[in-house]
Chains A and B, each alone.
Chain A
Amino acid sequence: MTRKQRRLYFVLLGMLALGAATALVLTAINDTLVYFYTPADIQTKHVAPGRRFRLGGLVEKGSVIKKGETVEFKVTDLTASLPVTYTGVLPDLFREGQGVVAEGRLDPQGLFHASEVLAKHDEKYMPKEVADALKKSGHWQEGQVTK
């Protein structure tokens, strides 16, 4: 084996080993790499009340109730939903059917107290006219926040 070949195999083997190690580490810490949990995750994982985490999903249609500064709404992933209460300024994109990520804690009653609400934008880009036309013709699909 020439020195060049040896170096080639060494580099290839090194890359392979590093790739495998990274893949294993990423799989092992998968739970901490997700940015938010969906309401369905919360149901199965039973997050303890008082623990801080992020909750992501769509704002359920017809669930938004504004009481002065405080907003109450439900976050849904279309299988489960969770009530959220938040006091503060909402992002411009916040509305019913919109993807949101809220950071906060659950209380013992199962109500999520958010201290921050971010809007999650989906991958769709289109002019307003096209969006209106799609909505009119009934081909409109709300973005799914769950991956």
Chain B
Amino acid sequence: MHRFANPARFLRLAAAIQPWTAGATLILLGLGLYFGLVDSPADYQQGESVRIMYVHVPSAWLAMAAYSTMAAASGVGIIWKHPLADLVAKAASPVGAAFTFVCLVTGSLWGKPMWGTWWAWDARLTSMLILFFLYLGHMALLNAFDDPTRGAKAAGILALAGFVNIPIIKFSVDWWNTLHQPASVSRVGMPAIDPAMLLPLMLMGLAFTTFFVTILLMRVRSEILAVKVRAIRLTQIHSVPGSATGELVGESLR
């Protein structure tokens, strides 16, 4: 693990992996959208609205996967103080927040015609909204301190504490009765979903996963570069006396 945690090695590795995950995203997304929007049947009850599921469900999966990534990275950052882990957590949260937002919006769009309401305060919907707020809180805490390491620590503690919400989201539909339907794919026995609809759902799920990996690698790379730029700026301020005042003003203004 520590072998790959070296930033220079990580940069090389990420640069090598990224084109492949990006390519896979394009192919899987193309296939998923084709099967989801064109070559899959309408549902016996929901009609064409069922196609919202092909975006809604993968966003929900990835919203939780991104949070788990963020929490795991925060744990590594807090316990082993590895700077790369903090950068992974920082890179993951806006992406996860975006997935959560897409999940909430598409769910709402589906809920109006199917349930008859845009929103219901049931356990599944509420816990998903809490997840969105946890992401927002994480991003806010990261930027609430002048010292980035202190921000990373505070945000990391939030990410770890908020992790209790993940099993609650997953099992909310089993523990309590909700307006939201129970799990269709991951349940005891066969998935309660027709193979013709499961195929685009799985393709979209894979596409969202490779998309997340691509964006995460991209963001971690740029975070590493940002740290380097910051370090170079700081050495410049200290080494060149003439430019120090101007640079310092610029630095404090930001």
Interface residues of chain A, those whose CB is within 8 Å of chain B, are: 4, 7-8, 11, 14-15, 18-19, 22, 26, 30, 33-36, 38, 56, 90-93, 101, 116-132, 145-147
Contacts and interface: CB of A to CB of B under 8 A. Distances in A.
A137 B164 CA distance: 45
Q: Most A CB atoms within 10 A — which of B42, B45, B121, B193?
A: B45
Contacts of A127: 41-44, 194, 196-197
A56 B177 CA distance: 9
Given A34-B176, A93-B45, A118 B78 contact: no
A8 B79 contact: yes
Contacts of B183: 123
Contacts of A122: 181-182, 192
B30 interface: no
Interface stretch (B97-105, B108-116, B142-150): B108-116
Contacts of A36: 177, 179
Given A126-B197, A127-B42, A131-B44, A121 B115 contact: yes
25 contacts: A14-B161, A15-B160, A15-B163, A26-B168, A26-B175, A33-B123, A35-B120, A35-B178, A36-B177, A56-B177, A91-B116, A92-B116, A120-B181, A121-B45, A122-B181, A123-B181, A123-B193, A125-B46, A125-B50, A125-B53, A126-B193, A126-B197, A127-B42, A127-B43, A127-B194
Contacts of B187: 123
Contacts of B194: 125-127, 130
Category for how many chain B residues contact A? 35 or more
B79 A118 contact: no
B179 A124 contact: no
Contacts of A92: 113-114, 116
A7 B78 contact: yes
Interface of B: 41-46, 50, 53, 75, 78-81, 113-117, 120-123, 160-161, 163-164, 168, 174-179, 181-184, 187, 192-194, 196-197
Given A90-B116, A101-B179, A125-B46, 11 more contacts: A11-B79, A14-B160, A33-B123, A38-B177, A91-B116, A124-B193, A125-B50, A127-B44, A128-B41, A132-B44, A147-B182
Contacts of A35: 120-123, 176-179
Contact of B44 (A15, A130, A147): A130
Nearest to A56: B177
Nearest to B41: A127
Contacts of A8: 79
Contacts of A125: 43, 46, 50, 53, 184, 192-194, 197
Nearest to B45: A93
A147 B182 CA distance: 9
B80 A4 contact: yes
Q: Most B CB atoms within 10 A — which of A8, A120, A132?
A: A120
A118 B125 CA distance: 15
A30 B122 CA distance: 12
A22 to B, nearest CB: 5
B116 A117 contact: yes
